[in-house]
Each structure stands twice: as C-alpha cells, then as structure tokens.
Amino acid sequence: MLSDLFTASVLIGILSSGIRLATPYLYAAIGESFGQRSGMLNLGVDGIMLMGAFSGFYVVLLTNNYWFGLLAALIVGGIMGLATAFINVTLQAQQGISGIGIFLFGLGMSDLLFQKLVHNVETVTGFPDAPIPLLSKIPVIGEIFFNQNVLVYGAYLLVPLAWFILNKTTLGLKINSVGENPAAADSLGVSVTGVRYLTVTLGGILAGVAGASLSIALLGVFQQNLTNGMGFIAIALVYFGGWRPLGILIGSLLFSMVNSLQIWMQVIGIPIPSDIAVMMPYILTILVLVLSSGRFRQPSALTKPFERAG
C-alpha cells in the first residue's frame, strides 16, 4: 500500500497537483504582501476571493468565455480592494476588524448572489490545460510543470514579477518606505495615501483572481464558502514567507504539496484517518515556522494608520 505511493505516476500526480493547488494561495498571498509591505493588513482577503470566485463563475456560466470570467473577477476584486482601501486608509478603521467585516460581507454576498442567480449546482468548463509546446514533452518534469493551465502559469510568473517590483523599482522603494516609516516617506514627498490605495486595491484584484482560479480553473464549480478559509491561510503564508515573494512561494508550495500528498494518500487507500491527513499541511507549516524562527521582521508600520500631523 505504502509502496504504491512511490510509483512514478503517483509521484508525478502528487507533484503536479501540488503545483496546481498552490495557485490560489500564490495570487492571494502575493497580493496581500503588497498591502502589508505598505503597512496595511487586510484580513478580508477570503471575502474578496469568494466574490471573485462567484463573479468569474457566473460570467463564465453566462458567456462560456473564461477570459470574460477572469476579467469579471479582476474587476470585482478591484472594486472590493478599492473599498477596503477607502475604509482602512481614508477612514482609518481598525484594520483587524474591518477585515473581518469585509470577510463576512464577501461570504454572505457571494452566497446570496449564488442562490439568487444560479440556484442549482452547476459546473463550468473553465480554463483548459495549456501545455507549453516542447517543454511539456520533457519526461516527468514536463508533465508536472508545463502541463497546467494559464492561471497556474500566471501565479508562478507573479513571483519574480513581484520580487522585481518590490526590490528593483522606485514604486517598490516607495511601498517599503511607507510600510517602515510613513512619516519619513511623507516628508520626502511620497504620497502615503496614494501608495496604500494602490497596494490594497492591487491586493483586492489579486484576491479576486485567486478566487477565480478556484472556480473557473481548478474546480469548475462554485458553492457557498468555496474557499473555506483559504484566504486566511494565504494571509498566514505572508507572515510565513517573511513578506518576501520567494518566501511566500516556498510557503505556498510546502503547504500545497503536503495537501496534495494527503489527498493522494487517501485516494490510493493508505490507511490514514482522513481527518489526520487533512491536518498535516497546517501542522507542518507551524513546524517549519518553529524551526526557522525569528529570522523575519515585520514592516514597522503594519496596521498603524497614518495621519499627517498638524
């Protein structure tokens, strides 16, 4: 039984789904990390993901065009991100609570719209597998990495893109400075409000895409609370990754690989109680954190609202 695990096809299957499963976490966590680097904590990511998931799903249901679906999720996520920015930056609401409120709103609204507009259990065929020519023919590696769908590729491309923006551009410099010392940044002419609006809205857009990646790429379905807490895990992964894109990638992969492993273990019948198996990714994440303790420092201005004195 256990030996079944080590056959080539199963191992390839595990790795391949692990790569796939990490997609929503990558989008959501990288999006959240932009906001957090500028000092804004958005606990409402899960709610935005749900709204993005439903929007994408519904538009694909209506138009049968998954690109329109993605666009819808992007727009809805952006609107919610903008609203979050308004609440947290301009109205200076306490970020922990406002996030919970946004989460509850997204949870309820997506379910409400689903019940009113869709009623039944529907499935859509979303993004198809898009094997990259040539590369996907490479034995083993090709199957795992290069035979996924476009949204999966997008998530992984986001990592170096985010790294580049945060570390090699002026914008990144502004984001970091606003998150570390907004007063100093303000005195140098950086618009703290502008930067924060940008990062939080961007976080909303990416959260919307994350939700869509679930409903129209990975699963092809929507239901109440589709994400089941994934948004919160994504926030946790930002902390795990030390607010860095590479760290977030590692965290997302670790989490998703273990998740994939336990799913496959149950599929091929290894006798582990399913409840223990599902626990594994969470316990492992905590374990890894314990072992790598204390190496990261959070942005100094995280969760502190900024108001120009005087």
Partner 1 sequence: MHERLDAIIDVLLPPVAAILGALLVGAIMLLLLGANPIVGYVALFQGAFGSTNSIADTAVKATPLLLVGIGICISFRGGVINIGGEGQMILGALGAIALGLIFPTAPGWLIITLALLVGFAAGGLWGGIAGYLKARYNVNEILSTIMMNAIAVQLMNLLLRGPMIDTTQKGAARIPQTARLADAFDLPRLIPTRLHLGALLAIILAFVVYFFLWRTTIGYRIRAVGLNPFASRYSGINVQHNIVLSLLLSGAFAGLAGAVQVYGVNHFMITDGTAAGFTGSAGFNGIVAALFGLLHPIGTIPASFFLGALLVGANKMQRVTQVPGALLTALNGLVVVFVVSSEIWRRRRARARAIKQVEIESMQEEVPVPGAMD
Please report, as ranges, the residues that interact with partner 1 according to CB under 8 A: 43, 47, 87, 91-94, 96-98, 100-112, 115-116, 224-225, 228-229, 232-233, 235-236, 239-240, 273, 275-276, 278-279, 282-283, 285-286, 289-290, 293-294, 298
Tell me which DSSP letter residue 2 carries.
Answer: G
Nearer Cβ to partner 1, position 53 or 152?
53
Nearer Cβ to partner 1, position 80 or 151?
80
Shortest Cβ 168–partner 1 spacing (Å): 27
Nearer Cβ to partner 1, position 7 or 225?
225
Nearer Cβ to partner 1, position 94 or 167?
94
d(CA 45, CA 90): 19
Shortest Cβ 58–partner 1 spacing (Å): 15
Contact predicate 105/54, CB 8 Å: no
Nearer Cβ to partner 1, position 64 or 94?
94
Shortest Cβ 70–partner 1 spacing (Å): 24
Shortest Cβ 144–partner 1 spacing (Å): 27
- Three-class SS of residue 199? helix
Length of the chain: 310
Shortest Cβ 115–partner 1 spacing (Å): 5
Contact predicate 11/241, CB 8 Å: no
Instruction: List the alpha helices (DSSP H) in the chain.
Output: 8-37, 45-63, 66-85, 95-117, 141-145, 150-168, 170-180, 182-187, 192-212, 230-240, 245-267, 274-291
- Three-class SS of residue 29? helix
Shortest Cβ 280–partner 1 spacing (Å): 9
104-121 burial, b for 16+ CB within 10 Å, e for fewer? ebbbeebbeebeeeeeee
Shortest Cβ 100–partner 1 spacing (Å): 6
| CB atoms closer than 10 angstroms to residue 159 | 18
Residues contacting 76, CB < 8 A, separation 6+: 51, 52, 55, 208
Nearer Cβ to partner 1, position 116 or 121?
116
d(CA 69, CA 127): 10
Shortest Cβ 29–partner 1 spacing (Å): 12
Nearer Cβ to partner 1, position 1 or 290?
290
Nearer Cβ to partner 1, position 1 or 291?
291
